[in-house]
Amino acid sequence: MNTQTTIEAGRITQALERLSADIAEALAQADGSGEKLALIGIANGGLPFCQKLATSLRKKLGCELPVGSVDMTFHRDDVMANPIPAAKSRTDLPFEIEGATLILADDVIHSGRTVRAALNEIFDLGRPKRVYLAVLCDRGGRRLPVQPDFVGLVLDTDPSQKVKVNLDTENPSLDTVEILQA
Amino acid sequence: MTPSPAWTRKDLIAIEDLSREELDIIFATAESFKSTLGRSVKKLPSLRGVTVVNLFMEPSTRTRLAFEIAATRLSADVISVMGDASSLVKGETLRDTALNIQALSADMIIMRHSAAGAAKYLSEITDMPVINAGDGAHAHPTQALLDAYTLREKFGPDLTGKHVTILGDILFSRVARSNIWCLKKLGAHVTLAGPSTLVPREFENLGVRVCHDLKQALADADAVMLLRIQHERQTSTHFPSLGEYTSMFGLNKRRAAWLKPNAIIMHPGPINRGVELDSDLADSSRSVILDQVTNGIAVRMAVLYLCASTKSLSTAQ
C-alpha cells in the first residue's frame, strides 16, 4: 500500500485544539453546567484521539471529564461476516450513562456504520440526554445519515483509499494521518 | 487491533477436530460475550433472524437451558424439541427429522443424542451448522470448552503444565473424553482417577495418567473435576453400591485436604450430593461449579456465533 498524502503533526495539533475549543464553546452555549458530562472513545482507533481530546478539554473546561471506551463489535451490521477480533478494548463506561451528555469520539468517520453501531451499544447501557459526535478526520463517503458535530480535518478521499491515523499519546510531534492507496 | 483468524468450521462435533488456534478463537469470542452478561439489556443483535432448533433426544436441563439462553441472548429464535415429544417416537428416522427441520427453514441445529456419532451424521446430511450437545459416551464439546474457559479464568490463559484430575465415571463419560482432548491440546496434564472398573488403563493411550489411588491423584492437582455417578448405568455392574463408591472415591472434607490449598473443585452437574461430592464442598469457596454454569452461556454464545457466521458467509457467496 502506497502512502499518497501525509498530514504532519503540527496540523493535527492545530485541528485538535480548534476542535476542543469548538466543543467547549458548544457546551457553554448549551449551558451544560452541572450536567453529567463524559467522553467516550470508539475502540480501538478512537481511543488515542479520545485521550488527547480529554486532555485538551479538561484544560478548557477546567473540570474533571470522565473517559470511557465503547466496543461496537456486537452491533456491527456485518457482524457475521467478520469474526470478533481476538484482541480489542471492551466497552468500559465507568460513569452513569442515564441522562448524561456524552461526546463520542472516533479518529475517522466514513460510512457512518461504526457510529451507528457505537450508539446502539451505548443505548444498551442507558439513555443519555444528548450525544455529540467528534471526529478527527471526516473522509466523506457516508452511507447512513450520520454527521459529526465537531470535525478536526476534512479529507478528500476516494473509496479505494484508506486513512490511517497514528496518534502518539506521549509525544504529539509523532502524530500523523496518512492517506493510503490500496 | 489484531483481527482474529477466520473461523471456517460449519459444525462443532468434537474437540479432537479443533486446532489450538480454533480453541483460542472460541475463548476470545466467549470472553467478549461474557463481558455483556451482566448488563441490564442482555440481548445482542448478532443472530437476529436466525432460527435455532434445540433437538434434545436425551434428558437435559442445564445444557439445553444454557443453549437456549445463549441463542436467545444473541437474538436468535429458538425452538426446543424434546425426543419424547417428536415424531421420532412414531418411528421417523433421525435423517427425516433433520431434513424436515431444514425444509422448515431452520438455520442451525443443536443436538443431544444417545448414539455416539449422531451429531456428525447430521452435520453430513444437512447444510445447517450442527452443534453437538452430547452424543452417547463420545463427546460433549461445549462442556469441555466451558470447563477450560473456567480454568483459564482461575489460572490465567496459559494452562501449560497445570494438573487436572478427572475423578469418577470415566468409562461412560463424554465429558471426560472431551475434557481429555481439550486439556491436552491446551498443554495441561490430565490424571484420571476412580475405581479400575470405571477407569481402565486403556485411557493411557490418550496421553493421560490413570491412577486408582485417590490420595496420589489429588496431591498435585490444580483442579479436580468430579463426574456424576450415573446410577442408571453402572451400579449393578461396575461397583457394588453407591455407598461403597462414596467410601472409596467420594470427595469429602478430609480428602479435599489432600489437594493443594489453591486447587479448585469442578463438576459438570447435576451433582449427586453426598455421593461423588459432599454438599459442603460443593458450596465452598473452592467450588467453581456455578462459574462453570455461567461460563457455559458465554462459551455457547461464542460457538453459536462462530458456526452461524460460516452459514452466513456461504449464503452470501
Q: Is the domain of B146 the same as that of B283?
A: yes
State the count of interchain CB pairs (< 8 A) between A and B: 65
Q: So where are chain A's domains? A: 36-78+89-155
> What is the third-level CATH fold of A36-78+89-155?
Rossmann fold (3.40.50)
- Residue B273's DSSP bridge partners are B277
Which DSSP string do the residues of A60-120 spell out, in sequence order?
Answer: HHTS---EEEE--GGG-TTTTTSPPPSB-PPPB--S--TT-EEEEEEEEESSSHHHHHHHH
The pLDDT score that the predictor gives to residue B120 is 97
Domain count, chain B: 2
Segments forming the whole domain that contains residue B243:
141-292
pTM: 0.87
Query: Which stretches within B74-167 are classed as H helix?
Result: 94-103, 118-125, 141-155
Put simply, whether B37 touches A (Cβ < 8 Å) is no
Q: Find all residues with CB under 8 Å of A51, minimum gap 6, and list them.
A: A41, A67, A169
Contact A3/A180 with Cβ under 8 angstroms? yes
In a domain, B123, yes or no: yes
> Could you read off the pLDDT of A36-56 as tens digits, one per residue?
999 999 999 999 999 999 999
| Contacts with A73 from chain B: Cβ below 8 Å | 32
Model confidence at B3: pLDDT above 70: no
Contact B185/B16 with Cβ under 8 angstroms? no
Put simply, whether A75 touches B (Cβ < 8 Å) is yes
User: To 10 degrees, the CA torsion angle through B169, B173, B179, B184?
Assistant: 80
Q: What is chain B's mean pLDDT, rounded?
A: 91
Determine the distance from the C-alpha atom of residue B96 to the mean position of all C-alpha atoms in its chain, rounded to a whole number.
27
**What cell does A130 get?**
444528548
Q: Is the dihedral of CA B130, B133, B139, B145 positive or negative?
A: positive
Does the interface predicted TM-score (ipTM) exceed 0.85? no
Put simply, whether B48 touches A (Cβ < 8 Å) is no
Q: What percent of chain B has pLDDT over 70?
A: 92
- The CATH number for B108's domain is 3.40.50.1370
The pLDDT score that the predictor gives to residue A31 is 66
| Candidates B35, B45, B309; nearest CB to A83 | B309
Q: Is the domain of B146 the same as that of B131?
A: no
